[in-house]
Amino acid sequence: MQRQNSHANRRVRMTKRLFQEALMSLLEEKPIDQISVTELCARADLNRTTFYLHYGQPLDVLREMEDNCINDIRSYVQDIDSTTGLKQKVTRIMTYIKENQSRFILLVQKNGRDEFRRVFMTNIVFCLLEEQTPDPVTLREQQNSDAFKSEATYRLSFMTSGAFAVIYHWATLGYPNDPEEIATYTLNYCNAIWNLG
């Protein structure tokens, strides 16, 4: 029984990978809202019945890819020793992005969704930047309160967007700088903004 489940799970992973690769190929040509199930199946060389066993629409495949990207980066950072400094963590994320540049470019730049950009910023960049703030626990608790409308939280939002812009610009240029250099720039800019207040 366990052997059958293992084989079935492997088959599901392979099928999903084929749909994801096909979608990445199609995203090179057009945005997600112009991609049909029929052309996605044709590109993956799989039938529509197989598609509907796993997904409802092409956007579901994209969302799964986006979730995988966020989860990969999180685990990439979580694998770092807790005594490692913030600069090493940010460098590690930049290294991951550079090593997975084709996927990152498609998800963030070419025909990517604004929703993913927002999720990327809040789940990755914000988590790193909050270590720069005086009281990250308080900031998390304040997110749904009137206190979250304070000037400091606007500044944190500005820093988060700016950090993402640095990464985006680096990707747009084709990653000419070393990941550690980009990490240094990002942290220096964020420190300067935070210290203005």
pLDDT score of 53: 96
Cα distance between residue 147 and residue 143, in whole Å: 8
Give the mean pLDDT of 64-90: 79
- pLDDT exceeds cutoff 90 at 61: yes
Token pair for 123: 């789940």
**Helix, strand, coil percentages for the chain (3-state, nearest 5):** 80, 0, 20
Cα distance between residue 69 and residue 47, in whole Å: 26
pLDDT band at 134 (very low <50, low <70, confident <90, very high): very low
CATH of domain 2-56: 1.10.10
pLDDT score of 148: 53
Q: In the chain, pLDDT over 70 holds for what percent of residues?
A: 77
pLDDT score of 168: 86
Domain chopping of the chain, boundaries? 2-56, 61-196
Cα distance between residue 50 and residue 160, in whole Å: 40
Class of domain 61-196: mainly alpha
Summarised one tens digit per residue, pLDDT across range 140-187 is 454 555 555 677 677 777 877 888 889 889 988 999 999 999 999 988
- pLDDT exceeds cutoff 80 at 52: yes
Residue-averaged pLDDT of the chain: 81
Give the contacts of 183 (CB within 8 A, at least 6 positions apart). 87, 90, 91, 93, 94
DSSP state of 80: S
